[in-house]
Amino acid sequence: MTDAPLWTPDALQAATGGRLLGEAASVTGASIDTRTLQPGDLFVALKGDARDGHGFVPDALARGAALALVSGDRAEALASAGPLLAVPAEGPDPVLAALRRLGVAARARTGAQVAAVTGSVGKTGTKEALRHVLAAQGATHASAASYNNHWGVPLTLARMPEATRFGVFEIGMNHGAEILPLTAMVRPHVALITTVEPVHIEHFRSLSAIADAKGEIFSGIEPGGVAILNRDNPNFSRLLAHAQASRAGRVISFGEHPEADVRAQRIVLRPDLSVVDAVVMGMPVTYQLGTPGRHTAMNSLGVMAVVHALGADLARAALSLAALKPPVGRGERTLLRVGDGEAVLVDESYNANPASVRAALATLAGMETAGRGRRIAVLGDMLELGEGAEAAHRGLCEAVEAAGIDAVFTAGPLMAGLFEALPVARRGVAGQTSGDLVEPLLASLRAGDAVMVKGSNSIRMGRIVEALKARYASEPAPRESALRAVSPAAPR
């Protein structure tokens, strides 16, 4: 990237339709949160569910924001705080509308190759893997955290420097038609659907309806673009129809299916990494993946498909995957000092649904324990599962048994159903909240254990992770010596 400003005052006015009040400087970033705001940022005063960003404008400017984007009907009251960009006070949230216009302008001015990722599970991990491998090949801009909704996507676009070579955008949804306006803003050259699972099912009449909602991503694809689909998913044919009805020029499939264009021939699962033998558009490629688990290995095939579709270097991408690390809350591993030994903590606390919990249990099954160590699963309620929620939770019993989990701790009334379905020998403690599990788990932990924590965001399973780290001095878990990724096309 160059040292050029992200936006000049004139460009901001033109993009948003706003009016500058006060002496404004160019901005170097964009923020909606004064806690993470950096000097030189544009502060965007969005309305939240509980708070209105206009109330934080004086603090943002005092913290060094170069400019604040505000609604015109609030500008007079805030004028003394510092320079403002006041936009017409039209609609329910004028500032959000202006942010969308800014995002559209950011997309229009760049020559970047843009990829968009959606799916029931694996969106953020796949997006982060793409960020990782593409950053080694050129200036890359990607969504922060899980900024994949009605404000996260335009904010990510607004933050994209003009000189970006690769843009990677995560697009999420809870209801039908939510992806449509987001993909229209992003206008991806390549659009990937990781998989379709019964996630947010309470908002849909069927799994097919979820597939149709995910298929909306192709409506915004650039003419001649590439649609990438999971060939192993039962909804492949339905998603293929969406892709073929779009402006996509071709479809690339990935998976273990014999007809997949990017196909896994062999996956070697190790406790802290995986090795994948794949065929990518007819070319054999072997690579090591720094994140363990079959689910991440399968998602890596989608990553390789996107790399190919963007015209990036496959061999370099394969080498880069060896250094990939799980995002926080999505498989991050930490060593805990317990007595005169160690335990391993796997932080999967960011979110949960039946598919991702099964994947996490399978990964825990492959982890090594030492001495009298046990495999412990700490599970919180999975939300937005509708009428089948109780059955979905109890249905995890088979996965727990198959993974050989020694003890299960549960948080929430829904996971209590799983707890009751388990054999007594596998039961740890059942609590109504995640806080109820902290002390029993801390007291139970011993050297040699492998502990995995997972649950939906609102269950706050992260407090258990933090309690474990606070009680036991911790450090990132080391990774075993790696096999160097080799592609026949790569120089030796």
pTM comes to 0.89
334: amino acid identity, one letter: T
Residue at 485 is within a domain: no
User: What is the full DSSP assignment across 318-338?
Assistant: HHHGGG--PPTTTTEEEEEEE
**What span, in angstroms and rounded, lies between the C-alpha atoms of 453 and 195?**
23
Residues 20 and 65 in one domain: yes
Residue at 442 is within a domain: yes
Looking at residue 491, what is its pLDDT?
28
Residue at 315 is within a domain: yes
Looking at residue 484, what is its pLDDT?
34
Residues 318 and 338 in one domain: no
Q: What is the pLDDT of residues 27-70, one digit of tens each?
A: 999 999 999 999 999 999 999 888 999 999 999 999 999 999 99
Range of the domain at 155: 110-323
Looking at residue 2, what is its pLDDT?
53
Looking at residue 478, what is its pLDDT?
65
Looking at residue 203, what is its pLDDT?
87
According to DSSP, residue 287 is labeled E
**What span, in angstroms and rounded, lies between the C-alpha atoms of 64 and 53?**
16
Comparing CA positions, the residue from 337, 331, 348 lying closest to residue 445 is 337
Total domains in the chain come to 3
Q: In what order do the strands lie in the sheet with 474-476?
A: 427-431, 407-411, 375-380, 450-454, 341-348, 332-338, 474-476
Q: Which two tokens stand for residue 229?
A: 């689909």
**What span, in angstroms and rounded, lies between the C-alpha atoms of 488 and 492?**
9
Residue at 361 is within a domain: yes
Residues 191 and 116 in one domain: yes
Q: Which residues of the chain have pLDDT under 70?
A: 1-2, 473-474, 477-492
Residues 184 and 230 in one domain: yes
- Decide: 264 and 272 in contact? Cβ < 8 Å: no
Q: What backbone torsions phi and psi does residue 419 show, to the nearest 5 degrees?
A: -55, -45
Place of tokens 């017409």: 88
CATH number of the domain within which 397 lies: 3.90.190.20
| Strands 113-118 and 375-380, bridge-based pairing | unpaired
Residue at 105 is within a domain: no
- Decide: 305 and 280 in contact? Cβ < 8 Å: yes
Q: What is the pLDDT of residues 72-97, one digit of tens each?
A: 999 999 999 999 999 999 999 999 99
**What span, in angstroms and rounded, lies between the C-alpha atoms of 456 and 462?**
10
Looking at residue 3, what is its pLDDT?
72
Residues 230 and 370 in one domain: no
Residues 145 and 278 in one domain: yes
CATH number of the domain within which 79 lies: 3.40.1390.10
**What span, in angstroms and rounded, lies between the C-alpha atoms of 175 and 384?**
11
Residues 191 and 280 in one domain: yes
Residues 122 and 171 in one domain: yes
- Decide: 38 and 29 in contact? Cβ < 8 Å: yes
Comparing CA positions, the residue from 439, 434, 371, 374 lying closest to residue 400 is 374
Report the Cα 148 to chain-centroid distance in Å: 8
CA-CA-CA-CA torsion sign (217, 220, 221, 224): positive
**What span, in angstroms and rounded, lies between the C-alpha atoms of 299 and 129?**
9
Residues 134 and 244 in one domain: yes
Residues 137 and 88 in one domain: no
Question: Which residues, in sequence order, are CB contacts of 204 under 8 Å at separation 6+?
Answer: 176, 210, 213
Helix (H, G, I), strand (E, B) or coil at 431: strand
Residue 445, classified by CB atoms within 10 Å of its CB into exposed (0-12), middle (13-18) or buried (19+), is: buried
Residue at 354 is within a domain: yes
Residue at 486 is within a domain: no
Report the Cα 449 to chain-centroid distance in Å: 28
Question: Which residues, in sequence order, are CB contacts of 158 under 8 Å at separation 6+?
Answer: 7, 30, 42, 44, 99, 102, 103, 106
CATH number of the domain within which 148 lies: 3.40.1190.10
Residue at 482 is within a domain: no
Residues 134 and 196 in one domain: yes
Residues 348 and 442 in one domain: yes
